[in-house]
Structures are given as C-alpha cells and as structure tokens.
Amino acid sequence: MMKRAFTLIEVLVVLIILGLLAALIVPKLTGRVDEARIETTKLQLKSIKSALEQFKLDNGFYPTTQQGLKALVEKPSTPPEPKHWKQYLEKLPKDAWGNDFIYISPAGERPYELKSPGPDGIEGTEDDISVWDL
C-alpha cells in the first residue's frame, strides 16, 4: 500500500493559481461594493432632501446651519423656531461610510448645501457627493 502526498511544488502551484484568481476577482467585487455605497448614499441624500422640502412646506423656511439636520428629528429650540414642526425622519442617517452628512443653510446661490464627504470622509475633495449633483 502506497501513501500519496502533495509535494511542495504542487502546493505552491495551487497557491499561485489561487493568488491569480483572487487578483482578478477581488477588484471586481470591491468595485461593486464601492458602487453600491455610492448609490446608497445618493438614495439617503434624496430622502433627506425630501424631508427638508417637507420641513420648508410646513414651516416656511429650511433649518439653519445651527439647527442642522437634527431639526428633522427633533424640534429646534434655536431661532427661528418652526411653528408647524413634526418629526420628518426617524433618526439622522449617516452615509454609507459612516460619516455625518454636511448641511449648510443658506448656501450661496442655493437654499442649502447637503452632501456626503464621500469615501475618504474629507469635505471638499473630489469624491464628495452633493444632493445637487444627483
């Protein structure tokens, strides 16, 4: 009766083949994950935008920068106080990378700026995702 075993060369060949397969497959999978995170963040931005629009319809103004997006979850106590406030969101969402959304109101030519700092988590870089670019 003869025992069979793998030689070191056979094991190395298998490891090299697995490494090559991983090098081909992993980037495709991680690319899809990044795409999914971007799409998720865009959907969250649209949802927050809808809540902001409803806030404005009910109260006649958007929350100020000081009141922030928190005004969509709990009634602001800083002026101007909304007269017809209701809860617009269950809780404040974070973007797909776990970052807080950036909200500024008023914001230049627009009534507000609403964006995610993107994958790098740093505001003002190329990967920021603005609600106005959707």
The CATH number for 10-133, chosen from 3.50.50.60, 3.40.50.970, 3.40.50.720, 3.30.700.10, is: 3.30.700.10
Residues 86-122 have pLDDT tens digits of 999 999 999 999 999 999 999 989 999 999 999 999 9
pLDDT at residue 91 in the model: 94
Q: Spell out where the chain has E strands.
A: 102-104, 113-116, 129-130
Q: What is the mean pLDDT of residues 65-80?
A: 96
Residue count (the chain): 134
What's the token pair of residue 59?
């109260």
Locate the domains of the chain by residue range.
Answer: 10-133
Cis, peptide link before residue 80, omega less than 30° from 0: yes
The string over 30-55, giving b where at least 16 C-beta atoms fall within 10 Å of a residue's C-beta and e elsewhere, is eeeeeeebbeebbebbeebeebbeeb
Rounded CA gap, 114 and 110, in Å? Answer: 10
Q: Looking at residues 3-23, what average pLDDT do you find?
A: 80
pLDDT in tens, 22-71: 877 776 776 678 888 999 999 999 999 999 999 999 999 999 999 999 99
